[in-house]
């Protein structure tokens, strides 16, 4: 039956049916102005009737572009990244690009597989939240010639645009807030040292402490992996000490979730017995008890910016001087949102 769903026919098959050349159909579809109105209509009609769909793979091969970009995130379950996905998607689709997402699951191996896939698919560009693979590994992946921007975490790969948070400032805002409230023993749960976010958030913490004349005690900081479990483990370790801190800064929302479980198990009441503050204004941050004081990131803006930088790079590809251009770096300021998980230390403890 004509117009049947099922198998899709090819350009040549359709051409045969219409008794025109394949080139004509292609033109009617891609450069309608180059074809006579009558022909155009005849072709478009047939395309409709037979439900012809161009084969994107063949087209990509011929054209050398896919109009699709890849986005690899470190952890799709983390609402920070899923928000980024949405922002990037919105921005890119406005410009006619599609985006496909890969989840690296905070694993370097999966990260490499994902990047290799995207390079192999010959996508037009990649937005990448680095998970910590070796740079040399990354460089072998054939990513060299493909436009790329990194978001949230910088790998140091050259040629890539970069969209970052001012992590040091974020920690400083948090620590200053706690300092003002009167805390001195402030614990910190950070991310892996191999990641810029992991390192810089600790640095900001240390700097803010020292600026206030409080000496840095490395035993008060733990390095997790940005996943829930490590937040739980490190919170337990930090809070089981005899001289436990009166406040805790956690470097992302996932580890905060784990820390909350730990605090509950330890029977600590917030904020009376412990003040907590974390990076990322997760959507549940206002629903927990007490609502969380957080260092929020401008996700929407960061996502859009990454999209814009990538588009610029794609546009510049192959143009004179493109190779020599300095990759752009954009750093965004975090915002402290004070809610009720932070208060002055040493409040009457009740029953303790």
Which residues of the chain form contacts with a copy of itself (CB under 8 A)? 5-8, 51, 53-58, 60-61, 66, 68, 70, 76-77, 79, 82-83, 85-86, 89, 93, 98-103, 105, 110, 113-114, 117, 119-122, 139-142, 144-145, 228, 257, 260-261, 282-284, 286-289
Q: According to the binding rule CB under 7 A, does residue 140 interact with DNA? A: no
Helix (H/G/I), strand (E/B), else coil: 248: strand
Buried b (16+ CB within 10 A) or exposed e, 189-207: bbbbebbbbbbbbbebbbb
The two tokens of residue 114 are 């994902």
Partner touching 103 among a copy of itself, DNA, none, CB below 5 to 8 Å by kind: a copy of itself
Q: Which of 3, 6, 16, 27 is close enough to bind DNA by CB under 7 A?
A: 27
Q: Count how many residues are written for the chain.
A: 352
Q: Are 246 and 186 in contact (CB under 8 A)?
A: yes
Nearest approach in angstroms of CB 253 to a copy of itself is 10
260 binds, among a copy of itself, DNA, none (CB under 5 to 8 A by kind): a copy of itself
Tell me which of 17, 61, 121, 212 binds DNA, using CB under 7 A.
61
Q: How far is the CB of 276 from a copy of itself (least distance, A)?
A: 12
At 73, give phi and psi (nearest 5°).
-110, 160
Which residue number, 62 or 287, has a Cβ lying nearer to DNA? 62
Among 1, 2, 6, 12, binds DNA (CB under 7 A): 12
State the pairing for strand pair 293-296/335-337. antiparallel
Chosen from a copy of itself, DNA, none, partner binding at 23 (C-beta under 5 to 8 Å by type) = DNA
Burial class, 67, CB count within 10 angstroms (exposed 0-12 / middle 13-18 / buried 19+): middle
Which residues are 279's β-sheet partners?
A: 295
Do 189 and 248 contact (CB within 8 A), yes or no? yes
Query: Which of DNA, a copy of itself, none is residue 49 near (CB under 5 to 8 Å by kind)?
Result: none
């Amino acid at each position: 039956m004509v117009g049947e769903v099922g198998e899709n026919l090819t350009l040549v098959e359709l051409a045969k049916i219409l008794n025109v050349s394949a080139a004509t159909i292609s033109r009617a579809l891609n450069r309608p102005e180059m074809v006579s109105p009558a022909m155009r209509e005849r072709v478009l009609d047939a395309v409709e009737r037979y439900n012809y769909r161009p084969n994107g793979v063949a087209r990509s091969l011929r054209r050398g572009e896919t109009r699709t970009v890849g986005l690899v995130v470190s952890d799709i379950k983390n609402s920070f990244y899923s928000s980024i996905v949405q922002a990037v998607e919105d921005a890119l689709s406005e410009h006619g690009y599609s985006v496909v997402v890969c989840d690296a699951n905070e694993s370097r191996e999966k990260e490499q597989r994902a990047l290799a896939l995207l390079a192999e698919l010959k996508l037009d560009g990649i937005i990448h939240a680095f998970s910590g693979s070796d740079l040399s590994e990354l460089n072998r992946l054939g990513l060299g010639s493909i436009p790329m921007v990194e978001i949230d975490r910088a790998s140091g790969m050259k040629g890539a645009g970069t969209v970052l948070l001012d992590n040091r400032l974020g920690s400083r805002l948090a620590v200053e807030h706690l300092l003002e409230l009167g805390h001195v023993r402030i614990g910190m749960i950070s991310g892996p040292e191999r990641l810029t976010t992991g390192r810089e958030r600790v640095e900001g913490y240390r700097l803010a402490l020292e600026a206030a004349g409080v000496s840095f005690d490395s035993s008060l900081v733990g390095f997790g992996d940005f996943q829930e479990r490590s937040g739980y483990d490190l919170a337990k370790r930090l809070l089981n000490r005899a001289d436990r801190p009166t406040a805790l800064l956690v470097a992302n929302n996932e580890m905060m979730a784990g820390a909350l479980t730990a605090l509950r198990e330890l029977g600590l009441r917030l904020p009376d017995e412990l003040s907590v503050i974390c990076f990322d204004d997760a959507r549940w941050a206002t629903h927990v008890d007490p609502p969380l004081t957080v260092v929020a990131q401008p996700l929407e803006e960061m996502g859009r910016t990454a999209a814009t930088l990538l588009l610029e790079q794609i546009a510049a590809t192959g143009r004179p001087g493109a190779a020599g251009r300095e990759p752009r770096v954009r750093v965004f300021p975090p915002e402290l949102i004070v809610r009720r998980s932070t208060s002055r230390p040493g409040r009457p403890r009740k029953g303790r």
